[in-house]
Structure 1
Amino acid sequence: MTAPYDPDDREKVVAKLPAALRQELKVRAAQLGVDIKDAVTEGIHSWRADPSPRPQVDTSGGTSFSTYVPTGLYGAFKDDCKSRSLAFNQGLAQAIRLWIDNHPSPGRRAPRPTGARRIIFGNQKGGVGKTATAAGTAQALAEAGYRVLLVDFDPQGHMTRQLGYAMLEIDAPSLAKYMLGEAKGQVRDLLVPIEDGPFGGRLFLLPACKDAFLLDAKLATSRNIRIKETALEKALEPLEKEFDYIVVDCPPSLGFSMDTALYFVRTRDGEDKKASGIVIVVLAEDSSADAYDMLFDQIQDLSEDMNVEITMIGFVVNMYDSRKGYIATSSLDSWKKIGDPPVIAVMPERKEQRESVRLKQPLLAYEPDCEQSEIMRTIAREISQ
């Protein structure tokens, strides 16, 4: 939607709205790739343009909701609500309901002819929040209506456990065994649905396995020289037509497992350069910069050795806190100055993420309105462009 106003000239609007309506607005906006503030602005304009009475919206149990609308619109809208003998909360609820009704869900998307878009989250340095960011982005993509497979490719299995699932046993079929040609049956039999929240059966997890620590060593000693790069792709190939996105949480290493993940997201023949690639999760500190230098070298070496192109989608600067002073702010500036890849999100550290992990619930189901959830949606929109 093209806004007929300066997008920076806005004022804050605060109201109390029921959780169900807020959630429906967030999901529909995500499905259509529209910023919530623009959706609310359009809904208000449509509501003001049609003075006929509208059905009452149940606003009981409403909690705080805030967004930004063009300067001056807030006051004019409040005056309209008053002239129609409506409480402001009811008027805003009607405007949002009108926008939702005028913008139906796009429904089930047809499979892409080139298969799922493939996104990996990586960094050689551990403890940067890579797992939480991968999981949250996958949830946001599923919330937006895409079919998403979330792959826990880290042998530590943090994602699997944080979402409340058990790791696969060492003697059971696993992704690692499929990669090495040691498993029978179908890899789809390993998938578990994540039913929490507004995912509607669109989000699935391929859990980690306790034998994944052996994967690098086995790839290194394989007689098939090409299996080192193609193993992950071959294992997941049967699933590609079933999903719009395959999101992979990579191990914090530069070994053969990371090589095979990078090869998996290379730009394929006939595929847009931005369709697949790697999102690099970093902190606003020097150790992340050192880790990125090593990852960058690995990407360049693999690209040259295999004659492939690997897109670096962008950085997510995680757990950012400007109160840490010069180290944090100057480091953030340094990430932004790189330019290519760009910084696509700056994620503050908030308690909601830690709470959701403690409770073993997806972040967007546990606290869909928190700042971190909104930023996960922003990352998802950047990826899905």
Structure 2
Amino acid sequence: MTAPYSPDDREKVVAKLPTDLRRELKVRAAELDMDIQDAVTAGVTSWIGGKELPAVDTSGGTSFATYLPVGLYERLRTASKKRKISYNQGVAQSIRLWLDSNPSVRSAPVRTTGARRLVIGNQKGGVGKTSVAAGAAQALAEMGRRVLLIDFDPQGHLTRQLGYTMLEIDSPSLAKHMLGDAEGDLRSLFVPIKGGDFEERLWLLPACKDAFLLDAKLATTRSVRIKETALERVLVEVEEDFDFIVVDCPPSLGYTMDTALYYARTREEEEPTQSGLVVPVQAEDTSGDAYDMLADQIDDLCDDLKVEIVVIGFVVNLYDARNGYIATSSLESWESMDEPVLGIVPELKEQREAVRRKEPLLAYEPDCEQARVMRSIARRLNV
């Protein structure tokens, strides 16, 4: 049967749904590698043509937005009115129907070596490393994964953008633990990130200004191996607590970056792309020049230490095709690389607004285009 609407022509619809139902929808859609809007579309279509269903508890519902093909929204409202139920109840029943018809096909990946380690880095500043690290971590946690997000940049942009305070210079910190200058459990520094559908599964290890000293102190250490292994020695004790550890790196080619790259290496029991480097770039030439320097650093580290460090892929950030040939030709260059482009994040106002408000993007505007791209990136990282 031909649908009375074009699947490429959609309109935004908003409903009130309970948190548990929204969360279950997002996790299931991620498991099945589907966009949320496609899952809801399938559920609504089946619900309209099916029999009446038991009521869904929608008490305590909060705003949920998605996009339905033009024409389907009006059919949903008409069907809800005919069945003498509210529009919100019709949406909830449609989602419940889709969930029941599409059971979970897999559980969380088996972790043979603790958490999977994702290092987000590029030598160039301003390419969106922090927004990609934060967005991917939020999306992974939204999918049901337990995620630790580490602000490894002494500038602390990630910490401040999420509304948290940097650790005091005299306080215990990640850098002090790496240098053996701190006592106690590293876990005491973790803070839960609130908001959205990722609560209770996402934690932040905030930045501390003492990280500016890390490169110099690593350079003068007497231990031959501590320069590269310092980060891993500290984090290995918490890996079993998490499914993913996401490290937001500074724009640096120094020893600090060496420790992060070494931490992302492929371990003996891992598949090559379980852990590795994710490189945010922009569709312009300077990102490519910066990546060339980073690639040389990776090659040198692999040769010196006899390890394998995989570039999982690129994220083309702040993309705007209206910039013409510079943007489109640069995007083609990234897409022609051996490593895949994991996502293309558009230049839109929602990310800037979330930063201004010091809120996580997927809590502030969970249904914007940038949030949907972050979920798509997370699905590719979660395979």
Q: CA deviation at 1:147?
A: 0.5
> Match for 2:345: what amino acid?
M
8 A Cα contact 2:218 2:227, kept in partner? yes
Q: CA deviation at 1:53?
A: 4.6
- Corresponding residue of 1:366: 364
8 A Cα contact 2:77 2:87, kept in partner? no
The change in CA–CA distance for 1:15 and 1:222 in structure 2 (over 3 A counts) is closer
The change in CA–CA distance for 1:23 and 1:83 in structure 2 (over 3 A counts) is closer
* Stretches of structure 2 lacking an aligned partner (at least 5 in a row): none
- Corresponding residue of 2:34: 34
Superimposed CA distance per residue, residues 85-110 of structure 1 (whole angstroms, 9 cap, x where no aligned partner): 67995655532232235557799958
> Match for 2:51: what amino acid?
P
Q: Tell me the SS of whatever aligns to 2:183.
A: coil
- Corresponding residue of 1:344: 342
Cα distance in 2 between the residues matched to 1:87 and 1:366: 30
Superimposed CA distance per residue, residues 298-348 of structure 1 (whole angstroms, 9 cap, x where no aligned partner): 11111111111111111111101111111111111111111x211111111
Calculate the TM-score normalised by the size of structure 2: 0.88
- Corresponding residue of 1:272: 271
Q: CA deviation at 1:376?
A: 0.8
Q: Tell me the SS of whatever aligns to 2:158.
A: helix
- Corresponding residue of 2:112: 113
- Corresponding residue of 1:228: 227
The change in CA–CA distance for 1:175 and 1:110 in structure 2 (over 3 A counts) is same
The change in CA–CA distance for 1:350 and 1:86 in structure 2 (over 3 A counts) is farther
8 A Cα contact 1:36 1:67, kept in partner? no
Cα distance in 2 between the residues matched to 1:275 and 1:35: 23
- Corresponding residue of 1:353: 351
> Match for 2:52: what amino acid?
S
8 A Cα contact 1:12 1:66, kept in partner? no
Cα distance in 2 between the residues matched to 1:263 and 1:212: 18
Aligned length: 375
Q: Tell me the SS of whatever aligns to 1:267.
A: coil
Cα distance in 2 between the residues matched to 1:82 and 1:199: 31
- Corresponding residue of 1:66: 67
Q: How do 1:162-241 and structure 2 match up within 5 A?
A: 162-241=161-240
8 A Cα contact 1:157 1:207, kept in partner? yes
Cα distance in 2 between the residues matched to 1:56 and 1:243: 33
Q: CA deviation at 1:162?
A: 0.8
Cα distance in 1 between the residues matched to 2:72 and 2:37: 12
8 A Cα contact 1:17 1:89, kept in partner? no
What is the Cα-based RMSD across aligned positions, in Å?
3.1
Cα distance in 2 between the residues matched to 1:184 and 1:45: 58
The change in CA–CA distance for 1:48 and 1:247 in structure 2 (over 3 A counts) is same
Q: Tell me the SS of whatever aligns to 2:353.
A: helix
Q: Tell me the SS of whatever aligns to 1:173.
A: coil
Question: After the TM superposition, which of the residue ranges 298-307 and 12-21 deviates more from structure 2?
Answer: 12-21
The change in CA–CA distance for 1:232 and 1:376 in structure 2 (over 3 A counts) is same
Q: Tell me the SS of whatever aligns to 1:120.
A: strand
Cα distance in 2 between the residues matched to 1:116 and 1:63: 31
Cα distance in 2 between the residues matched to 1:75 and 1:170: 55
Cα distance in 1 between the residues matched to 2:240 and 2:63: 41
Superimposed CA distance per residue, residues 72-130 of structure 1 (whole angstroms, 9 cap, x where no aligned partner): x9599769949956799565553223223555779995872310000010000001111
Cα distance in 2 between the residues matched to 1:319 and 1:355: 14
- Corresponding residue of 2:256: 257
Superimposed CA distance per residue, residues 49-81 of structure 1 (whole angstroms, 9 cap, x where no aligned partner): 632355378699977631459xxx959976994
Question: After the TM superposition, which of the residue ranges 140-149 and 33-42 deviates more from structure 2?
Answer: 33-42
Cα distance in 2 between the residues matched to 1:79 and 1:242: 45
* Stretches of structure 1 lacking an aligned partner (at least 5 in a row): none
8 A Cα contact 2:48 2:79, kept in partner? no
> Match for 1:346: what amino acid?
I
- Corresponding residue of 1:14: 11
| 1:378 counterpart (376, 379, 382) | 376
> Match for 2:354: what amino acid?
S
Superimposed CA distance per residue, residues 134-187 of structure 1 (whole angstroms, 9 cap, x where no aligned partner): 011101111111100000000111001111111111111110111111111111
Cα distance in 1 between the residues matched to 2:357 and 2:77: 44
Question: After the TM superposition, which of the residue ranges 38-47 and 372-381 deviates more from structure 2?
Answer: 38-47
Cα distance in 2 between the residues matched to 1:173 and 1:82: 57
The change in CA–CA distance for 1:366 and 1:19 in structure 2 (over 3 A counts) is farther
Cα distance in 2 between the residues matched to 1:82 and 1:362: 34
Q: How do 1:249-328 and structure 2 match up within 5 A?
A: 249-328=248-327
Cα distance in 2 between the residues matched to 1:314 and 1:110: 20
Question: After the TM superposition, which of the residue ranges 38-47 and 159-168 deviates more from structure 2?
Answer: 38-47
8 A Cα contact 2:37 2:66, kept in partner? no
Question: After the TM superposition, which of the residue ranges 93-102 and 214-223 deviates more from structure 2?
Answer: 93-102
Cα distance in 1 between the residues matched to 2:188 and 2:107: 23
- Corresponding residue of 2:147: 148
8 A Cα contact 1:57 1:94, kept in partner? no
> Match for 1:12: what amino acid?
D
Q: Tell me the SS of whatever aligns to 1:218.
A: helix
The change in CA–CA distance for 1:291 and 1:110 in structure 2 (over 3 A counts) is closer
Cα distance in 2 between the residues matched to 1:144 and 1:55: 26
